[in-house]
């Protein structure tokens, strides 16, 4: 897995500054000039219940998500 991966995040519920008191639901985007490498997924964080949930938006993005997370720009 890469040490540093650039993603764009949009909050669907909650606010990152309030993560310690309320759950946060985000939609994550990995952008690429190659459309086949673009990826989307959901990341839900609930610190009160010690839970992080990673969810696929669509199985069609699975290969692109894996490639995006595996990037190593070292």
Query: pLDDT tens, position by position, for the chain (74 residues)?
Result: 567 778 899 999 999 999 999 999 999 998 888 878 888 999 999 999 999 999 998 888 898 888 888 875 44
Instruction: Find the domain containing 18 and state its range.
Output: 8-70
In a domain, 25, yes or no: yes
C-alpha to C-alpha distances, 47 to 1, 18, 22, 51, 54, nearest whole angstrom: 24, 10, 8, 6, 14
Q: At residue 39, what are phi and psi to the nearest 5 degrees?
A: -140, 150
Name beta bridge partners: 27: 10, 42
Report H helices in the chain: 62-70
> What's the pLDDT at 42?
95
Nearest to 57 by CA among 39, 44, 72, 35: 39
What is the C-alpha separation between 27 and 29, in angstroms, rounded? Answer: 7
What is the number of domains present in the chain?
A: 1
């Amino acid at each position: 897995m890469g040490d540093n991966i650039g993603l764009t995040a949009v909050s669907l519920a909650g606010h990152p500054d309030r993560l310690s008191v309320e759950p946060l639901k985000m939609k994550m985007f990995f952008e690429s000039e190659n459309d086949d490498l673009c990826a989307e997924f959901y990341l839900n964080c609930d610190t009160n219940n010690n839970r992080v949930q990673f969810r696929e938006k669509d199985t069609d993005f699975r290969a692109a998500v894996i490639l995006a997370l595996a990037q190593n720009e070292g």
